[in-house]
């Protein structure tokens, strides 16, 4: 297939030059470096990190957004994955909110050729559903397989141990419940009562209401018999650290998505529980400034893992039946994302992924 004509400028959701907000404006279509392909964006999905980057972290003129699906329209040189062709339907994630030439909330995005995956041509997951297997799916897989040591499929655990996932109805949580069950673990998680049935549909064996922390801790310890050694906190705010740490029967490991607070650090030390902050951005192979003065170093093994995960994502979908999060279709394309930011800031998004159609491809 011949390459379609590509414009020199595009519409993109770009960080304002002086204010901590994003706006849709004309932006240069990124040029390709070695090992990169250009994707025309069809759909994007929204994560909490997107609005938080714009509100607190992003420098001026960078493109916001991580998760996407679309069609390859141009191939660069020296591709590490040389199987791609113009017209292939693909999906993945990029490190949005940090670079002027990367970011998914745009009409085009450049992506490294070995860090995206092919969208199945048939089945329940198409271009609309594919961007959901971005930050949420990749974070869950990264933590369970590379940090907590769960067996990667088709391997399974022999022991049916318990794993605790705080926040089972989040995007990361819904994927983590499924992946942990796939690995042979029993899953106990927290959610609001209105989401109990949903998280059980996605693999949770037991669900606990988190609103009363002391009661939640007692229930989790009873369910697990005090045997808990592995946990993932997908919320990492408020009482989540205490509930997770107090649920351990002894030594173990807790992975978090935000920096653990001082009380959490003290409690973890008292209980002998190792804690680790894990960010999916290390999967893309770059060091980056996470907070002012705090740099996350490059983790080459994480990039290697993501290359493998991208190759295997179609199998996770078709062979292992890992389901996407429930979808809320949003109107307005790129402009609609700004409404979605406010929706998410106000806590109005629960147990669902906001998805936006950007273009026909």
Which CATH topology does 9-133+323-357 take?
Answer: Quinone Oxidoreductase; Chain A, domain 1 (3.90.180)
Top-tier CATH class for 137-278: alpha beta
Least confident of 189-193, 345-349, 353-357: 345-349
What would the pLDDT profile of 194-214 be if each residue is shown by its tens digit?
A: 999 999 999 999 999 999 999
Q: pTM for this one?
A: 0.96
- pLDDT(314) > 60: yes
What would the pLDDT profile of 118-145 be if each residue is shown by its tens digit?
A: 999 888 999 999 999 999 999 999 999 9
What would the mean pLDDT of 27-56 be, rounded to a whole number?
96
Q: What residues does each domain of the chain span?
A: 9-133+323-357, 137-278
Work out whether the CA dihedral 141, 142, 143, 147 comes out positive or negative. positive
- pLDDT(1) > 60: no
Residue 60: which pLDDT band, with cuts at 50, 70 and 90? very high
Is 333 within 8 Å of 354 (Cβ atoms)? no
Which residues face 43 on adjacent strands?
A: 69, 357
- pLDDT(64) > 80: yes
Is 36 within 8 Å of 110 (Cβ atoms)? yes
Give the CB-side neighbour count of residue 118, counting CA atoms within 13 A: 14
- pLDDT(2) > 60: no
What would the mean pLDDT of 77-93 be, rounded to a whole number?
97
Is 37 within 8 Å of 79 (Cβ atoms)? yes
High-pLDDT (> 70) share of the chain, %? 99
């Amino acid at each position: 297939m011949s390459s379609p004509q590509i414009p020199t400028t595009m519409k993109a959701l770009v960080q304002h030059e002086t204010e901590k907000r994003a706006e849709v404006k004309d932006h240069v279509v990124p040029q390709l470096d070695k090992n990169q392909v250009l994707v025309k964006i069809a759909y994007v999905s929204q994560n909490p990190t997107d609005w938080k980057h714009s509100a607190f972290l992003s420098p001026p003129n960078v493109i916001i957004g991580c998760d996407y699906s679309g069609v390859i329209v141009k191939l660069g040189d020296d591709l590490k994955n040389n199987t791609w062709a113009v017209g292939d339907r693909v999906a993945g994630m990029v490190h949005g909110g940090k670079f002027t030439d990367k970011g998914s909330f745009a009409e085009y995005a450049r992506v490294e050729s070995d860090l995206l995956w092919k969208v199945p041509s048939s089945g329940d997951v198409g271009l609309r559903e594919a961007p959901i297997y971005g930050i949420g799916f990749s974070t869950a897989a990264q933590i369970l397989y590379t940090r907590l040591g769960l067996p990667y499929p088709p391997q399974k655990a022999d022991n049916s141990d318990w794993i605790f996932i705080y926040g089972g109805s989040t995007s990361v949580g819904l994927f983590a419940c499924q992946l942990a069950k796939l690995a042979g673990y029993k899953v106990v998680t927290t959610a609001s009562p209105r989401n109990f049935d949903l998280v059980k549909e996605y693999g949770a064996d037991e669900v606990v209401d988190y609103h009363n922390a002391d009661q939640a801790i007692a229930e989790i310890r009873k369910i697990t018999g005090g045997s808990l050694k592995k946990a993932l906190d997908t919320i990492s705010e408020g009482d989540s650290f205490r509930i997770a740490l107090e649920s351990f029967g002894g030594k173990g490991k807790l992975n978090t998505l935000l920096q653990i607070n001082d009380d959490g650090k003290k409690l973890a030390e008292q209980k002998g529980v190792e804690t680790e902050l894990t960010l999916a951005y290390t999967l893309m192979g770059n060091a980056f400034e996470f907070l002012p003065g705090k740099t996350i170093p490059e983790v080459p093994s994480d990039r290697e893992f993501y290359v493998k995960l991208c190759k295997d994502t179609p199998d996770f979908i078709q062979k292992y039946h890992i389901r996407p999060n429930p979808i809320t279709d949003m109107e307005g394309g790129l402009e609609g994302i700004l409404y979605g930011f406010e929706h998410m800031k106000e806590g109005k998004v629960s147990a669902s992924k906001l998805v936006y159609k950007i273009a026909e491809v």
